[in-house]
């Protein structure tokens, strides 16, 4: 397994629409292993492949709070087949929008179909935190970030702040 660099806003790659995975083979499984390791190291509870620069429709998640008991979840080509009218609000952050948080409303429940780690078709009924995480990660596959749901003013403040941080990071004095 290998740690990958997580891309951050405003990197244009994050705005790409990811492509479906055609065959779930060892290359895809290796990618998912790397994604999971990168997510745990960050640390985060969800990661989409595009966040490490790979435009494939793959998500990994682990919302278990206990670091001793890891419960990784893998979703390949996830599709939403139901979303509740009821909304839930969580304060969301994102590994690609470091240090920024905002309250976001999303459907409280969603059902998805997807392929698992071995390429088998599965369905999942999610609610609460899991539903929010899945929907946040599925947005990444469409090139959408949680800050896109904020007002233009708030979003541009965040984007400017992150651009400035990036410049400072790249600046070296020797």
Contact set with Zn ion (CB under 5 A):
94
C-alpha to C-alpha distances, 125 to 25, 57, 66, 132, nearest whole angstrom = 26, 19, 22, 12
- CA angle 95/11/51 to nearest 5° reads 40
Smaller CB distance to Zn ion: residue 32 or 94? 94
Largest CA distance in the chain: 56
Pairing of strands 87-94, 97-107: antiparallel
137 as an active site residue: the answer is yes
Smaller CB distance to Zn ion: residue 49 or 94? 94
| Candidate list 9, 79, 137, 142, residue with the active-site label | 137
Smaller CB distance to Zn ion: residue 94 or 138? 94
């Amino acid at each position: 397994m290998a740690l990958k660099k997580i891309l951050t806003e405003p990197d244009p790659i994050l705005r790409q629409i990811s492509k479906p995975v055609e065959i779930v083979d060892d290359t895809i499984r290796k990618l998912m292993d790397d994604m999971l390791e990168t997510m745990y190291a960050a640390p985060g509870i969800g990661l989409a492949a595009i966040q490490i620069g790979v435009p494939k429709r793959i998500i990994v998640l682990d919302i278990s709070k206990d670091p001793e008991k890891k419960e990784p979840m893998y979703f390949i080509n996830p599709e939403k087949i139901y979303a509740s009218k009821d909304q839930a609000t969580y304060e969301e952050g994102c590994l690609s929008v470091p240090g920024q948080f905002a309250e976001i409303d999303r459907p409280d429940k969603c059902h998805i179909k997807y392929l698992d780690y071995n390429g088998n078709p599965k369905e999942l009924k999610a609610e609460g935190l899991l539903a929010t995480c899945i929907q946040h990660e599925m947005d990444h596959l469409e090139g959408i970030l949680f800050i896109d749901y904020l007002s233009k003013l708030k979003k541009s403040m965040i984007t400017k702040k992150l651009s400035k941080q990036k410049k400072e990071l790249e600046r070296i004095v020797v």
